[in-house]
Structure 1
Amino acid sequence: MAMATHATRPVRALLAISWPLIATYSLQAVIGLTDTWFAARISAEALAGLGAQSFLNLAVFVGLGGVAFAVQVPVAQAVGAGQAQAARAWLPAALLAAAFTLPCFLALAWAGPGLFALWQLPAESTAQAVQYWQPRMAGGVSVVLLFAVSSYLAGQGRTLAGLGANLAAAAANVPLNQWLIFDAGLGLAGSAHASTLANLVGVAVGLGLLAREGWSVSFTALAARTVELWRTGLPIGVAAAADVLAMAVFQLMMSRIGPAEGAATLLLLSLTGLAFWPALGLATGSATLVGHAVGACQPQQVGPLVRTSLWLMAGWMALVGAAMALAGPNLLAWLSGTSGDTGPGSQAALALATSLIGLVAAYQVLDAVNLGSAFALRGLGDVRWASAANTVGSLLLFLPLAAWLSFDSLGARIPALGWGAWGGWSAVALLSALLAAAFGARLRHVLQALEAVSPARRPA
């Protein structure tokens, strides 16, 4: 009985800390849908302009947001060590690190016209993309500030408070869109301004929930912590941005092969999001609990926590994968709006997506191992190795492999296999298997090294 009780504790702890994170991450999808809904009511060109920069937009936010995500681990370790004042000292540093991203965002805003000229979109779509991009980037620091507050709260284990801050932002986004797009007549630029203001509402709510905490930090300590967040956060951001950009290029590859391949890939990516967001919430929660255990100098708790999180994530991915395999054809038809009287192009996309759904469902279990291992390593403070492995895997291995398997040729003298979408998604599965093996080996090595440290040698 004692063993059963001990075994259930990590599960309960993970679910308790993770469900608000799952809801918080899901809210990001809701905010994106809100912007899409409003853009569609401006014009088709506005919707095309918004879509043209959506992946790049996300890559910038997660790339620069790494300096904010990084605060979760030192806060979690300080909380685990019972050093409440040291934990609180990280919030000003996180806010300052986020503020220092402002010049990067302003430079990206200024570069918008030249950047989207390279896309060779229709003139009106390019104009709409720039109209959204420039104010969105100019206010992009608000996104990183909200990341900083949410990550700080996650490190403390106060994930419900983080959910409250993000709920406030999502709720404010709707009336702000209506007011700035239509009432103020700003068009798609109004949607960008609305997102910035909504994020600032979320930041204000989050800081309001922390108002009772006192922050007394010397300038030297503040500067040192800010530099540390940039040092550890940049690899996190680069890896996340590489992931997003790799999937954006993958989508473009499939679209280049043909409309059926492009549409089928978009449908399948939409389905995988159903599995990804809850798994990301569990992974983030596990990083906090691992950080607490490390800070408390209780390495014996880390292994069970990590194994439990991996089993939960893999189980969730397997469950969603089984549901996709069983209900996939009907779900894909509903997502695509495809019926018996639609054109042959839509039917071809649906047929291709349906044929691929088993492969996509299977690889997600491996993806759960990658995600869970990366966040466990983050909680253990092993950030650079995981970030480097993910970046190299996404950009230097996956993209060339996907191109070789998918296209008929890579140039006049470079033959390729030409498997189409099957080749592209096979590359996704192969990369997931390779990273799962690499991350698993690295995690075992770090855990063994941690458990080998005797209590007498651990820091007080």
Structure 2
Amino acid sequence: MGEVLAELRRLAVLAVPLALTQLGNMMLGIVDMLMLGRVGREALDAAALGNLWGYAVLTIGMGMVLGCDPFIAQAHGAGDGRTLGLTLQRGVVLAVIASVPVMLLWLLAGPGLQLLGQAPHLAVQAHEYLLAQLPGAPAVLLYVAMRSYLQGRGITGPALVVMLAANIVNVGLNYWLIFGGLGVPALGAVGAGIATGVVRVLMAAALAWLIVRRGMHHGAWVPWSRAALDRTALLAIAGVGVGIGLQLGLEIWAFQAAMLFAGWLGDAPLAAYTIVLNLASVSFMIPVGIAMAAVTRVGNLLGSDRLREAERAAWVALGLGAAVMCASAVLMYGLRSELPALFKADAEVYALAAASLPIAAAFQLFDGVQVVGFGVLRAMGRTRYAAVINFFGYYAVALPLAWWLAFERGHGIAGLWWGLTVGLALVAVALLAWIAARGPATARKIALEQR
């Protein structure tokens, strides 16, 4: 029991700042929604659709960069500073490469959303909202590479400081650009997009400055060379990253597909679904922080060949994720009437959101377990199985069930949320079974080609 409590403390030390950083990242979008909700339902829906397309594409790029995670964590555990430095450099290279298709696909947002059945006027506004963020695409991928480098070494403070500062800047820029002032006209959703793009660039620049200024690369860095472009090593990272990108993408796309379903139900259901999704996503940031801590902790232990301790760390992290989401479910259910009021939506949207929150509360437990489970697999470098689980859980079960309940049975967005809940439950159970059979105790260290 003492070893479990000691592991719990280690995970908490890592998870708290990571969760706060993730919450801060989520708040960047929440602030957009809160302020645009005061502009009107149309602006809120346009930003929601813009984010739907933007994140659907960006997720794959982020997954490619996050392929560095197990290599960084295990190299730190093994005390291999050369691999740490080279992996960061290769993460930066992959971030630059991945940003090109991301930006090209963002340029197709308007036509793409119309092909997906969204209202033309909303698709046009969503396109403009996303184009305003275009410079932030490579910046956010570079930020992810640097954050993963620090996280794998157990350094969590700098990313949190940058995120807190980013939120302050974001509030000011949003207020100015959305509502106008100081000679700038009210830009609405486009103003929110400009603010997001600027903030992302500032975040990447600030984190790079902190790493160099505070010498956080000392002992884990090598001069830039052709080794950063080593094809074999880049493909090894990308191979892990593809699994992460697909796992993340399949989950996010499922919720975004449900958002498209909500859009087909009408403007009010779409706005209500967006509000509930944002509220659920806020609570989700806590187990995301725990999952990131599990990547670091389990990966470090695997790197130092302490397999049994890595196994224990994995199960402690899973238990912690389940516990915090049980508390979140109780809170969400108890505040089901108060939380939607924060968005200042009209009466119809408020009523739909308030009715959906108890269902969203029901899947909190499964959400916590599945995200931490994926973190464990990421630490092991076994990411493709995670993608397979997500594909069957969401696309063979959750979305077909959500469609049937929403449209065939007439349950509207409540049916969408019940379908997603069932899919999440199946994903969580499958992950627990896999980790029980083939968890960290059976893992081996992974290595990169070094030249």
TM-score w.r.t. the length of structure 2 is: 0.85
Would you say 1:98 and 2:95 are equivalent positions? yes
In structure 2, the residue matched to 1:49 is: 46
In structure 2, the residue matched to 1:352 is: 355
Unaligned 5+ segments in structure 2 are 446-451
Q: CA deviation at 1:299?
A: 0.3
Secondary structure class of the residue paired with 2:132? helix
Q: Which one-letter code corresponds to 2:146 in the other structure?
A: V
Q: Let me know the Cα RMSD of the aligned residues.
A: 3.1
Q: CA deviation at 1:27?
A: 1.1
Kept after mapping to 2: 8 A contact 1:76/1:295: yes
Q: Which one-letter code corresponds to 2:364 in the other structure?
A: Q
Kept after mapping to 2: 8 A contact 1:109/1:138: no
Structure 1 residues 101 and 221, CA gap change in structure 2 (3 angstroms): closer
Q: Pairwise mapping of residues 65-104 of structure 1 onto structure 2 (< 5 A)?
A: 65-104=62-101
Q: Pairwise mapping of residues 177-256 of structure 1 onto structure 2 (< 5 A)?
A: 177=174, 182=180, 183=182, 185=184, 187=187, 188-211=189-212, 212=215, 213=217, 214-220=221-227, 222-223=229-230, 224-254=232-262, 256=264
Kept after mapping to 1: 8 A contact 2:114/2:120: no
In structure 2, the residue matched to 1:365 is: 365
Give the paired residue count: 433
Q: Which one-letter code corresponds to 2:328 in the other structure?
A: V
Q: Separation in 2 of the partners of 1:215 and 1:189?
A: 42
- Which segment is superposed worse, 315-324 or 127-136? 127-136
Q: CA deviation at 1:406?
A: 3.2
Secondary structure class of the residue paired with 1:140? helix
Q: CA deviation at 1:280?
A: 0.7
- Which segment is superposed worse, 379-388 or 55-64? 55-64
Would you say 1:377 and 2:380 are equivalent positions? no
Kept after mapping to 1: 8 A contact 2:308/2:441: no
In structure 2, the residue matched to 1:401 is: 401
Q: Which of 316, 331, 334 pairs up with 2:338? A: 331
Q: CA deviation at 1:54?
A: 1.9
Q: CA deviation at 1:247?
A: 1.0
Q: CA deviation at 1:260?
A: 7.5
Kept after mapping to 2: 8 A contact 1:167/1:202: no
Q: CA deviation at 1:104?
A: 0.6
User: Among the aligned pairs, what percent are the same residue?
Assistant: 26
Q: Pairwise mapping of residues 419-438 of structure 1 onto structure 2 (< 5 A)?
A: 419-438=411-430
- Which segment is superposed worse, 137-146 or 249-258? 249-258
Would you say 1:439 and 2:426 are equivalent positions? no
Cα deviation 1:275-301 (Å, max 9, x = unaligned): 311111111111110000000000011
In structure 2, the residue matched to 1:411 is: none
Q: Separation in 1 of the partners of 2:135 and 2:368?
A: 35
Unaligned 5+ segments in structure 1 are 409-416, 456-460
Higher radius of gyration, 1 or 2: 1
In structure 2, the residue matched to 1:458 is: none
Structure 1 residues 352 and 192, CA gap change in structure 2 (3 angstroms): closer
Cα deviation 1:163-186 (Å, max 9, x = unaligned): 123334333334555676645748
Q: Separation in 2 of the partners of 1:328 and 1:258?
A: 26
Cα deviation 1:251-306 (Å, max 9, x = unaligned): 34345457786566445434423431111111111111000000000001112111
Q: CA deviation at 1:217?
A: 4.8
Kept after mapping to 1: 8 A contact 2:398/2:421: no
Considering Cα pairs closer than 8 Å and 6+ residues apart, tell me whether 1 or 2 has the greater RCO. Answer: 2
Q: Which of 292, 299, 308 pairs up with 2:307? A: 299
In structure 1, the residue matched to 2:119 is: 121
In structure 1, the residue matched to 2:390 is: 390
Structure 1 residues 175 and 261, CA gap change in structure 2 (3 angstroms): closer
In structure 1, the residue matched to 2:170 is: 173
- Which segment is superposed worse, 16-25 or 29-38? 29-38
